[in-house]
Amino acid sequence: MCGLLALVTDPSHQVSPTIVDAVSGATALMRHRGPDEPGTWNDTAGTSGSAAASQVVLGFNRLSIIDIAHSHQPLRWGPGDTPDRYVLVFNGEIYNYLELREKLAADHGAVFHTDGDGETILAAYHYWGAEALTRLRGMFAFALWDSVEQELFCARDPFGIKPLFMATGPGGTVVGSEKKCILEVADLLAIDLAIDDRAVQHYTVLQYVPEPETLHRGIRRLESGSYARLRPGGQPQVTRYFTPRFDSVSFGAGSAPGSVPGSAPGSRPDSEQRRYDEITAVLEDSVAKHMRADVTVGAFLSGGIDSTAIAALAMRHNPRLITFTTGFEREGFSEVDVAVASAEAIGARHVTKVVSQAEFVAALPQIVWYLDEPVADPALVPLFFIAREARKHVKVVLSGEGADELFGGYTIYREPLSLKPFDYLPRGLRKSVGKMAGPLPEGMRGKGLLHRGSLTLEERYYGNARSFSDDQLRAVLPRFREDWVHTDVTAPLYAQSQGWDPVARMQHIDLFTWLRGDILVKADKMTMANSLELRVPFLDPEVFAVASRLPYDQKITRATTKYALRRALEPIVPAHVLNRPKLGFPVPIRHWLRAGELLDWSYSMIDTSAAGHLIDLTAARSMLDEHRSGATDHSRRLWTMLIFMLWHAIFVEGSVIPEISEPTYPVQL
């Protein structure tokens, strides 16, 4: 787990001491990602030792997790005839590295000089090429320089757990774990840093900036499940190597617990219990491999079934496991009691952190600085605090992200059941039903059902629930455009899932939107801000392979979600947790935006913002006034705009300069 930066100059330029120093300085901005060991490398010998000009610089900050004493980066490796051919900077973990090392040694005679997982990537790439990516079980973003081919090979894990930003200008290309580092070297490469108006609108609609966009025109993200090849003077050539598919396989006649058939025609019948056992076994294996570390591993615990299952399985490998949760001082906005009960049930030692409103507000500038891109999810604030608390005790934590997307855990996935009658209406009549809903008063029972029932799945579903109507968007976005809508993002994805059941299509959308745009961003950024590695055993290729074969009715029923997962976890999770409704993570911003420190901060942010050309500040203030009075609940919309204003103040205006501390952490914990 670390932070990387790789810069490849245009052939008309060569790496100078100025560029090396710039990369080194930019890398220091993400010291939090790897405070244990910094490193910088550049090819002073040029092309394979020739007199050609050097054109690559690699920078790195290491968080030592495996093979602490060795496995230094940038890491050199090569076959016998060219032992230093490849140079690697690598962010993440490869959990099956032991098995891969053994195979590479047996099949190809690969020789390793460390006990870490980084050399595994280099050897796998040498012998298997890009196909090696499909054999890696882990989370990763890496940049690999091939000194023979004079090519930079970059890749991200299948689900996008680890980030990788990319920018190209006349002076060359740079890739990095954090956008702020790219901003630091942008002038050297003449990268376009104009604000992307389309990305601003997408952010306002979605509450995050969807991949591959960022808010700066000249900086993009390498998408999840993709790799890029880059030669000096060329544009990155991007290829997708992982395309998730949900191809259901029937459980057999009479085994369905629900009322909606969703299995593929002609699919293979199978025994019910054997399929549940398959889920149990693959999760056990994933957690076992995710426990591989030379440092102490803990677990986040919300009290829900996902995190409890991960913690319970982890206990088998570490009976002294420490679990962590957080909550708020306000009654009704805390999972602490539930999490404590779950920890007691599985026998784990538990640590809690309660966050006050004052702490919440004070931390916002540094949190947004760590984020790089605005994410309007208030749950990331308590995550920041519990990560800080956890880092006092452990260096790695496990968490339950991804279970909902893979196994059908969101309540919204049950919507096709309630809207099923609308499917039988002719298209014209269905639209008319939607028009009937228009005149009904806001909040009236049934209004939302009629509106959503009048829409196709492609029209109505794009991940997290919509907060801005089109009229509200027009009011707050001076540069609003009718053609920049959520379907920009979702239409190509829906085209890939034609013929799938509706839940599978919703899951597929979420893998490319909500999961990698919000959940995994906040998980990575808030833990890395505290030099803490977060691992997500559900987001494992083998777990996905099993989950992707579940039919519709093994995911959602009229009574519950994640049906098959709940059945599979019966031997692992205490019964009182197993059937508990989804908790979510309530954050009291609705209340705090009506009184107290957060309200005062919000008025100040609006009154001092220089982002009025992008967000209508008058409209924002009116919404805050309405919310304060209790006339309506604008909390989600306000939070989306306020976080953007704070991002703009930090990264564009420079009017807010967060105080970023540099705590000293032990290398081994």
Sign of CA dihedral 360, 366, 370, 372: positive
CA dihedral 524, 526, 528, 529 (to 10 degrees): 150
Which residue spans within 249-304 are E strands per DSSP?
A: 297-300
Give 363-404 as a DSSP string: HHHHHHHHHSS----TTHHHHHHHHHHHTTT-SEEE--TTHH
Alpha carbon distances (Å) from 397 to 296, 298, 357, 387, 444: 9, 5, 26, 9, 44
Check if the beta carbon of residue 192 is closer than 8 Å to that of residue 217.
yes
Query: Which residues, including other chains, have CB under 8 Å from residue 575's CB and lie 6 or more apart?
Result: none
Report cis status (omega within 30 of 0) of the bond before 378: no
Residues 1, 2, 291, 649: which is the catalytic one?
A: 2
| CA–CA dist 623, 620 (Å, integer) | 5
Check if the beta carbon of residue 4 is closer than 8 Å to that of residue 141.
yes
Cβ atoms within 10 Å of 593's Cβ, excluding its own: 22
Q: Would residue 181 show up in a list of annotated catalytic residues for this protein?
A: no
| CA–CA dist 30, 524 (Å, integer) | 13
The pairing of beta strand 86-94 with beta strand 138-146: antiparallel
Alpha carbon distances (Å) from 299 to 308, 325, 344, 535: 9, 9, 14, 9
Could you give the residue numbers annotated as active site? Answer: 2
